[in-house]
Amino acid sequence: MCMAKYRLQSVAELARQLVFSPHDVRLAQIGRAEDLLHTLEPTKPYPLDFVVYRITDYRPKTGGDEMLTGAALQQDLALLIEVVSDTLNLVAARISEPVLDIDDVCEKFNVTSKTIQRWRKRGLPSRRFIFADGRKRVGFLLSSVERFIHQHQDQVANSANFAQVTDAEVEEIIRQAARLARSGCCESEIARRVAKRMRRSPLTMLHTLRKHDGAHPDHTVLTDAAPAIPVRERAAVLDTWRGGDSITNIARGLGRQRSSLYPIIIEARAHRVIDKHVTFFEDPLYHGPDAAAAIDEIVRQQELADAPSAEQLRVPRDLPPSLADLYRTPLLSKGGERALFLKFNYHKFRFVQARRRLDPELLRNRDLRTLENHLRLAEETKKLIVKANLRLVASIARRHLRPALSLAELISDGNLSLMRAVESFDIHRGNRFSTYATLALMKGFARSVPEMLAGNRRHAGIDETILESCADPRPARPADRLADRDQVRQLMTRLSERERNVISIRFGLNGQTALDTYEEAGQRLGISKERVRQIEQGAIARLRQLASPAR
């Protein structure tokens, strides 16, 4: 079965339920899902109850008031149809109507496979069939393709038939392309920029220019284009740009025009947003005309109402000083949680909507800025939620602390569970996030703590044997002892000064006498025995990590 990435959790859950239906029921359900898919309007919201009823012919007793946007539904229903059909093992030759594969559709409508992929995202339903060669792959019912084309005639007309380019358009394309070639643009950049001005596909531009060059070998256009930027140079451009250097400086250093570097940057940014897996929980508020302003006002008002009290910011007496900062961030009230989760999911919702309208062949900088801004705002909101719940992680981590573990290690592991919980929490279910996160953390620690203990037991003997052998005064096996000492000396340089002191005292390195107890080491260093234990465990864990590649 293909691994689908759903935008809507409710549709993903529905798909998981459908695969358990009897064969004939599943076949009827994906047929109803296709009918629904053809009727969806991208800008219109649809109740979840309505979607479930249209597909399953069953009306849920308690479906809540969740609203799903037509744009997100279009893509997710198409995924649902393909995933569920994959479990049916449909044989194309036994279907009562013609079944087309991707190549058939490309040939019939004179479009590229990329165009077919865009049509699928806009609602062209596909199923998985077993074709005559015995392989299972994506296919389309002829009736579904014809219905889609009838409903999207404008899109199909713009994508299909290269011959639709008029003589006047060809002359303009050649004129603009020749000017760009003389200015130093490469072939792909010429196609992209001309396509943007002519409101055509870059593939159409390349086809037109290559056809012209073939027919007029004495007046070619693309032969004057600059050579394409090599892969290694493209990678260097990206690395330098990500390091903070400007495109102007990069172009000057490479001896290229800035315009030739922009597509590299645009493509990298586009891959980041297009490949980003984003799910969200929808809310009716998101469909209002001033949704962004309304949500920001809700957050602002809640911040004023949730001014922290002195009790909320009180630091427990037995808390290690390194964790005191966690208590300087106030806890969220129920209203504060709702406000931040509304904002968090709103920006993910807007990101998915904007990405849904994105045409990969006509990418613009302002479109990418919009997508990146929604991702940034969603991530900033997520950080606020996580920061307000870090003390919860510390509290639960302390309950799972064991002699062989460090609290910092447990908190680090718990933070990952907390961030996953933020992504999967639905405020519409009426629960507090702290309750949901507590369960997620308890479940995460129940799995990770035994693994940490087993790992520490497995490696502690190896690490301590090396350390103790270096301190052994006996001259046995001098070659081995010299190698061990060199290894430890090199690794010890990677530790902090306090970690080096603790390890040296505990294992008798650098001419010091080994101390058997944490209390004795603490008295020598002027710190508590518990702090000695923590530093030693952290240092050994770091040494193990540094030495692991060599083992």
Could you report the average pLDDT of every consecutive run of 10 residues in the chain (551 residues)? 67 89 91 90 86 85 71 88 92 87 78 80 88 88 84 59 69 90 81 80 78 88 82 81 83 77 78 82 87 90 74 65 72 89 93 77 77 93 92 88 82 90 91 91 89 66 53 45 58 78 77 67 76 83 66 38
- What contacts 24+ positions apart, CB below 8 Å, involve 291-294? 291/346, 292/346, 292/350
**In whole angstroms, what separates CA 268 from the centre of its chain?**
15
If you compute the radius of gyration of the chain from its CA atoms, what whole number of angstroms results?
31
Q: Which amino acid is at 139?
A: G
At residue 186, the 3 state secondary structure works out as: strand
- The fold of 284-442 is Four Helix Bundle (Hemerythrin (Met), subunit A) (1.20.120)
Spatial strand order of the sheet with 136-141 comes to 90-91, 127-130, 136-141, 99-101
pLDDT of residue 181: 86
**Cα-flanking dihedrals φ and ψ of residue 184, to 5°?**
105, 10
Q: Which amino acid is at 415?
A: N
**Cα-flanking dihedrals φ and ψ of residue 316, to 5°?**
-60, 145
> CB neighbours (10 Å) of residue 504?
19
At residue 6, the 3 state secondary structure works out as: coil
The per-residue b/e assignment along 378-405, b for 16 or more CB within 10 angstroms, e otherwise, is beebbebbbebbbbbbbbbbbebeeeeb
pLDDT of residue 447: 87
The answer to whether the predicted template modeling score (pTM) of the entire model surpasses 0.75 is no
The span from the CA of 417 to the CA of 331, in Å, is 18
pLDDT of residue 175: 92
pLDDT of residue 163: 43
Quick check: 405 and 453 in contact, CB under 8 A? yes
pLDDT of residue 540: 82
CA atoms within a 13 Å half-sphere pointing along the CA-CB vector of 519: 0
pLDDT of residue 548: 58
Return all residues near 39 (Cβ < 8 A) that are at least 6 apart: none
pLDDT of residue 161: 44
- The fold of 453-550 is Arc Repressor Mutant, subunit A (1.10.10)
pLDDT of residue 549: 46
Among 422, 279, 277, which residue's Cα sits nearest to residue 340? 422
Q: Which residues pair with 128 in a beta bridge?
A: 138
Q: Which residues pair with 141 in a beta bridge?
A: 99
Distances (CA, A) of 449 to 348, 360, 389, 443, 532: 33, 45, 20, 10, 22
The span from the CA of 240 to the CA of 263, in Å, is 15
Q: Which residues pair with 68 in a beta bridge?
A: 46
pLDDT of residue 140: 93
Among 413, 377, 393, which residue's Cα sits nearest to residue 331? 393
Angle at 123 between CA 121 and CA 125, to 5 degrees: 100
Q: Which residues pair with 280 in a beta bridge?
A: 8
Quick check: 170 and 215 in contact, CB under 8 A? no
**Residue 140 per-residue DSSP state:** E
**Residue 226 per-residue DSSP state:** B
The span from the CA of 313 to the CA of 309, in Å, is 7
Q: Which residues pair with 90 in a beta bridge?
A: 129
pLDDT of residue 380: 94
Quick check: 341 and 384 in contact, CB under 8 A? no
pLDDT of residue 551: 38
Which region holds residue 528: left if phi is over 0, alpha if psi is between -120 and 50, else beta? beta
